[in-house]
A and B are shown apart, each in its own frame.
Chain A
Amino acid sequence: MKYSYYPGCTLKNKAKDLDAYARASAQALGFELEEIENWQCCGGVYPLGSDEIATKLSSVRALNEAKEKGQDLVTLCSACHHVIKRVNDDMKNVDDIRFRANNYLKLDTPYAGETKVVHFLELLRDTIGFDELKKRVVKPLTGKKIGAYYGCLLLRPSGILAFDDPENPKIMEDFIRALGATPVIYPYRNECCGGYISLKEKDMAKNMCDKITESASGFGADMLITACPLCMYNLNKSASKDIPVYYFTELLAEALGLKEEA
Chain B
Amino acid sequence: MSMSHGKNQAEQIREISGTNPLKCMKCGKCSATCPAFNEMDIKPHQFVSYVANNNVEELVKSESLWKCLSCFACVERCPRDVKPGKIIDAARQLVVRERGGSYLTADEIPELLDDETPQQLLVSAYRRYKR
Q: How many whole Å from B16's CB to the nearest CB in chain A?
A: 5
Q: Per DSSP, are chain B's interface residues mostly helix, strand or loop, or mixed?
A: helix
B112 and chain A: residue at smallest CB distance:
A199
Tell whether A49 pairs with B76 under 8 Å between CB atoms, given A79-B120, A194-B69. no
Binds A, one of B41-49, B53-61, B84-92: B84-92
> In the complex the two chains form, is B120's CB within 8 Å of A44's CB?
yes
A191 and chain B: residue at smallest CB distance:
B35
A-B pair number, CB within 8 angstroms: 122
Tell whether A43 pairs with B67 under 8 Å between CB atoms, given A14-B118, A49-B89, A199-B104. no
Number of chain B residues close to chain A: CB under 8 A: 37
* Pick from B16, B18, B35, B124: contact of A208, CB under 8 Å: B35
Q: Per DSSP, are chain A's interface residues mostly helix, strand or loop, or mixed?
A: loop
Q: How many whole Å from A155's CB to the nearest CB in chain B?
A: 8
A48 at the interface (CB under 8 A from B): yes
> In the complex the two chains form, is B118's CB within 8 Å of A15's CB?
yes
Tell whether A199 pairs with B118 under 8 Å between CB atoms, given A192-B71, A204-B39. no
> In the complex the two chains form, is A196's CB within 8 Å of B128's CB?
yes
CA distance A55 to B128 in the complex (A): 12
Binds B, one of A99-107, A121-129, A133-141, A230-238: A230-238
Q: How many whole Å from B128's CB to the nearest CB in chain A?
A: 6
Q: How many whole Å from A227's CB to the nearest CB in chain B?
A: 12
Number of chain A residues close to chain B: CB under 8 A: 43
Q: How many whole Å from A87's CB to the nearest CB in chain B?
A: 13
CA distance A204 to B93 in the complex (A): 22
A211 and chain B: residue at smallest CB distance:
B35
B89 and chain A: residue at smallest CB distance:
A48
A201 at the interface (CB under 8 A from B): yes
A152 at the interface (CB under 8 A from B): yes
A232 and chain B: residue at smallest CB distance:
B118
> In the complex the two chains form, is A196's CB within 8 Å of B69's CB?
yes
B50 at the interface (CB under 8 A from A): no
CA distance A126 to B94 in the complex (A): 42
* Pick from B66, B90, B104: contact of A48, CB under 8 Å: B90
B4 at the interface (CB under 8 A from A): no
Chain A residues with CB under 8 A of B2: none
* Pick from A156, A208, A229: contact of B120, CB under 8 Å: A229
A109 at the interface (CB under 8 A from B): no
> In the complex the two chains form, is B85's CB within 8 Å of A77's CB?
no
CA distance A200 to B67 in the complex (A): 10
CA distance A197 to B118 in the complex (A): 13
A contact residues vs B (CB 8 Å cutoff): 8-10, 13-15, 41, 43-45, 47-51, 55, 77, 79, 152, 155-158, 166, 191-192, 194-201, 204, 208, 228-230, 232-233, 236-237
Q: What are some 5 contacts across the A-B interface (CB < 8 A)?
A: A48-B85, A155-B76, A195-B69, A196-B124, A230-B118
